[in-house]
Structure 1
Amino acid sequence: MTGPVLRVTRRTFIGTTAAALAAPAVFGQTKPRVVVIGGGPGGATCARYLAKDSGGALDVTLVEPNARYTTCFFSNLYLGGFRDFDSLVHGYDGLAAAGVTIAATTAEGVDRDTRRVTLGSGDVLEYDRLVISPGIDFRDGSVPGWSLANAEVMPHAWKAGPQTKLLKSMVESMRQGGTFCMVAPPNPYRCPPGPYERVSMIAHLLTQTNPTARILILDPKDKYSKQALFEEGWQTHYPGMIEWLGPDMGGGAVEVRPATMEVVIDGEAEKVDVCNVIPAQIAGRIAEIAGLCDETGWVPVDPLSMASRVDAGVFVVGDASAQGDMPKSAFSANSQAKVAAMKIRGELTGSRVFPAKYTNTCWSLIAPKDGVKVGASYEPTPEKIASVESFISQPGEPAELRRATYEESLGWYQGITADIFG
């Protein structure tokens, strides 16, 4: 269900009249117009910084159908029992207070020739610059036997919200001694350490409620992010519970059968109790509709600014972008959005544009107070955003350091959600 386009400022709330809603309209403004599609870490950050830093010189509209955003980052901690669900949910009042118009509807089409975005409400937004931050969609057929139609039986929970709650309820309802199976995604995908943190959190939950349960990971990759750290942690905290099968052991040739709750590994069917299928991923659909994706399904961008390589008037930030070495993470999206906002503001208002710099850190919780991290700083080159300095937690670190890393992640979540949503 979609709503009207609304203008909300610190002082006023102006509704669209019934007559205006009765027919499609084209919205034009005297100030330069920026339309931002997608209200996640990339889009919301970009919209808020554009409005805030331009001091009202830009007309900024965020197109986002959901009134509240549930963060995929830290949702694994909800699965493990470390956070309640409401702590993951954030609204857009802070963006509205900064002067952003919230268009509570979907973006259905982009005409880059006329610089117009068609909305699900029937309205049309004209833009001088467009920012697309749609996150991910799933690649059809990447896991034989699975489609979005099966997500209520074998949830992906890779877009946080009802799927996250569903997955947790399934784990909590598992029979004693049952099997939780994860089908892990191929590269590239949202949050490289995420599947393995999820396994850690589900293992923690099962040790409390179902200690004889088994976890099976079927993985098409022969290695994964923070592998040594996760494997050390699993051996320490959950010995004998978790089995990882890479491609050499059949993890890359998997079929699922939702109707019978089976996974087929190298032609042999195995019954499981819960199956979390995380499919291969591509850029959110509106990026394809806009004609921005290449053959990989992602959007190539200019490392200096996050502008599309096929249209300098369109910027793509966050998971949907193919930018180089940065992982697809909330931290990356937030960092990229600030670079794009600065560039757009400079082009439209003449403000100063500083050289682009990017940063990222990904924290993962393995067990209570056992946190690890990986991260880097990045700079643009002509070809890509390149890592210039990196760090990662090390096996065998003292408990005090791991505890401090976990506490650092809690502070980061509080800080970045405030930065994104105001």
Structure 2
Amino acid sequence: MENNKNTKRQFLNHLKNFFLFSFFSQFILVKNLKAKSIRPKVVVVGAGFGGATCINFLSKFSKILDLYVIDQYKEIQTCPFSNLVIGNIINTKDITFNVNENLVAKFYNKKIKYISSEKKRIFFSDDLSMKYDLLILSPGIGFKKNQINGYSIEDKKFVPHCWTGSKKISEFKNRLDSLDNSCKLIISSPDYPYRCPPAPYERASMIANYLKKKKIDFKIFILDSKNSFTKKEIFFNEWKKNYGNSIEWISKKDGGKILNVNNGEVETDSGLKFSSDFLHIIPNQKASELFYDSELISDDWCSINPVNFEIVGHKDIYALGDSIDAGDMPKSGFSANSQAKILSMNLVNKILDKDYIDPVFLNTCYSFSSKERAFSITAWYKLNNKKNRIVSLGSKESDINASDMDRFNESEEAFDWYKNITKLMYG
């Protein structure tokens, strides 16, 4: 375990030094420049992990650019740590941030209808519009429809998926509160790729944590559209240790992929049928609808140039986060934060007419099995030789047989990470 920690710590320090050196080199250069009389209008769409990191970085360069931010919400509820709200470990207010409170940019609280890449103009749902010179899109995730017969995201009879930070956690918890003893719950986990690969299994852990505290007997079935998942063996060990046999995972090959839903009963592609008191479907995912409404893409994910994150075929429009094809990088808040730093640095280099930096990336994903038990996977990335794809350099996972103290220490590390990164983004 100590070896893994040292390797992780060394790379984190290396990456931190890389970003600090690149940032301060640019900042010192810009500080010594005279303010431009004509500055490009840089617009950031979305104030989640990716967008907020871009905003924080680019706001330091007001001498060379004018920064604008658009988000349809004045408050952001982060997806990272939202499972802990479901588990009653933290409160909703702990993951809620005011976008405009400490913002050093012009903020527009508006919903976007579509973007015209030809006109370089953003059209809003109130029929007003805005011109841009450089546009950064970080609008989050979208969901595929008609994947399961009898299920609709919009149908209020279903438990909300709570996969977007859309302020439906209280409704989710109210449904949990209504459960009686000896209840059965089903969680349907989506097929790859999707936002935060270990999150469905952490959510099962947090639901179990919540029900265990209420002294309710329960059984959770995770019906999966996949045959494996990240940190699987650690989750299995943690479930056994904390919840006995109360959580059961059923893989796709063993009949886990749901095809039909009817009045709380589900049928899988192998003909298995399950009834439940609580049916929680996490839908299959794709890029945000904004990309399709703006005719920027036609596939499931947005293709980008991984050197500067410019959308393929659309000059001066950049994208990052969950909606892009980021090669080997998973879709996570940490990934979006790492991508945002590279995008912002190279956008500043473009404005200064300097060479792009050669990107390196990091992703760490923490998962909780109970309040004081967490574990993680850390992976490192660079570009391939052709500079057209992000590829993995390897990863380190927490020890399967880690001690109780190690699990506790990782939970403290996870809380520290969340506190520090949200403070950086939202003040």
Superposition TM-score, scaled by structure 1 size: 0.88
Aligned 8 A contact 2:48 2:140 in 1 = yes
Are residue 34 (structure 1) and residue 42 (structure 2) matched?
A: yes
Alignment match of 1:232 (pick from 237, 255, 265): 237
Report the equivalent of 2:369: 366
Q: Which consecutive unaligned segments of at least 5 residues does structure 1 have?
A: 1-28
The separation in 1 between residues aligned to 2:361 and 2:157, in whole angstroms, is 37
The separation in 1 between residues aligned to 2:143 and 2:65, in whole angstroms, is 34
Report the equivalent of 1:410: 415
Alignment match of 1:44 (pick from 41, 48, 52): 52
Alignment match of 2:360 (pick from 357, 365, 384): 357
Cα 1:152–1:336 shift into 2, 3 Å: farther
Partner-residue secondary structure (3-state), 1:337:
helix
Deviates more, 1:87-96 or 1:387-396: 87-96
Aligned 8 A contact 1:35 1:125 in 2 = no
- The one-letter code sitting in structure 2 at the alignment partner of 1:273 is D
The separation in 2 between residues aligned to 1:248 and 1:109, in whole angstroms, is 41
Aligned 8 A contact 1:70 1:160 in 2 = yes
Cα shift readout 1:361-408 (whole Å, capped 9, x = no counterpart): 000001232110001121122231111131111211111111111100
Are residue 81 (structure 1) and residue 88 (structure 2) matched?
A: yes
Report the equivalent of 1:67: 74
Cα 1:288–1:95 shift into 2, 3 Å: farther
Report the equivalent of 1:116: 121
Q: Which consecutive unaligned segments of at least 5 residues does structure 2 have?
A: 1-36
- The one-letter code sitting in structure 2 at the alignment partner of 1:49 is F
Aligned 8 A contact 2:255 2:272 in 1 = no
- The one-letter code sitting in structure 1 at the alignment partner of 2:48 is G
Cα 1:368–1:109 shift into 2, 3 Å: closer
Cα shift readout 1:292-331 (whole Å, capped 9, x = no counterpart): 3242x11011111211122231111100010101110001
* 1:264-275 mapped onto 2 (5 Å cutoff): 264-265=267-268, 266-275=270-279
Report the equivalent of 1:279: 283
Report the equivalent of 1:289: 293
The separation in 2 between residues aligned to 1:420 and 1:387, in whole angstroms, is 26
The separation in 2 between residues aligned to 1:119 and 1:162, in whole angstroms, is 22
Report the equivalent of 2:199: 194
The separation in 1 between residues aligned to 2:368 and 2:336, in whole angstroms, is 21
Aligned 8 A contact 1:300 1:308 in 2 = yes
Partner-residue secondary structure (3-state), 2:297:
coil
Are residue 375 (structure 1) and residue 383 (structure 2) matched?
A: no
Partner-residue secondary structure (3-state), 2:274:
strand
Aligned 8 A contact 1:305 1:343 in 2 = yes
The separation in 2 between residues aligned to 1:145 and 1:389, in whole angstroms, is 41
The separation in 1 between residues aligned to 2:325 and 2:167, in whole angstroms, is 28
The separation in 2 between residues aligned to 1:342 and 1:388, in whole angstroms, is 22
The separation in 1 between residues aligned to 2:88 and 2:315, in whole angstroms, is 45
Alignment match of 1:329 (pick from 332, 344, 348): 332
Report the equivalent of 1:17: none
Superposition TM-score, scaled by structure 2 size: 0.87
**Aligned-residue offset at 1:352:** 6.5
Identical pairs, percent: 30
Aligned 8 A contact 2:309 2:320 in 1 = yes
RMSD: 1.7
- The one-letter code sitting in structure 1 at the alignment partner of 2:363 is N
* 1:156-171 mapped onto 2 (5 Å cutoff): 156-171=161-176
Report the equivalent of 1:314: 317
* Number of aligned positions between the proteins: 388
The separation in 1 between residues aligned to 2:167 and 2:357, in whole angstroms, is 41
